[in-house]
Amino acid sequence: MSQQPSRNRRQRKKMHLDEWAILGFEFSCTLDKASEADYGLFFDSLEELVGTQHLYMTIENDSETFEGFVTSADRYGNATEENRTSVETLMNSHKIVKDVKIGKLVDAFYEL
């Protein structure tokens, strides 16, 4: 008999469960070799998008891939489908970005 334990509102909030879950999405792409100006343009536009849409973005970069995770910068806020579309559109609009993959919205604490 496997039942979920009942938790009160405070416990669910502390554990980021149910109505307190925080949604985000993963992304990955490859960056072609380019001039410093092209990289600057890409990262400046990415920074602007993150700022205007009030997002947090963690980034990992190795020699082959550029990837990360995006969620809302609002307390208990969630990334949205609109955020996913905006990130994908921005990445596809730069000539130095290839093989763009945008993940589905997932629970940032329990589904990574």
Contact 69, 55 (CB under 8 A): no
Name the H helices within the chain: 9-14, 36-52, 81-92
Which domains, from first to last, does the chain contain?
A: 22-107 (3.30.70.60)
**pLDDT tens for each residue of 49-107:** 999 999 999 998 877 789 999 999 998 889 999 999 999 999 999 999 999 999 999 98
Higher pLDDT, 61 or 32: 32
Supply the pTM of this predicted model.
0.83
User: Could you tell me the pLDDT band of residue 5, with boundaries at 50, 70 and 90?
Assistant: confident
For residue 84 the two structure tokens come to 């996913």
Least confident of 7-11, 16-20, 61-65: 16-20
Distance CA 28, CA 26 (A): 7
Three-state DSSP at 19 gives helix
**What is the rounded radius of gyration, in angstroms, for the C-alpha atoms of the chain?**
17
Both ends of the chain: CA-CA distance in Å?
Answer: 27
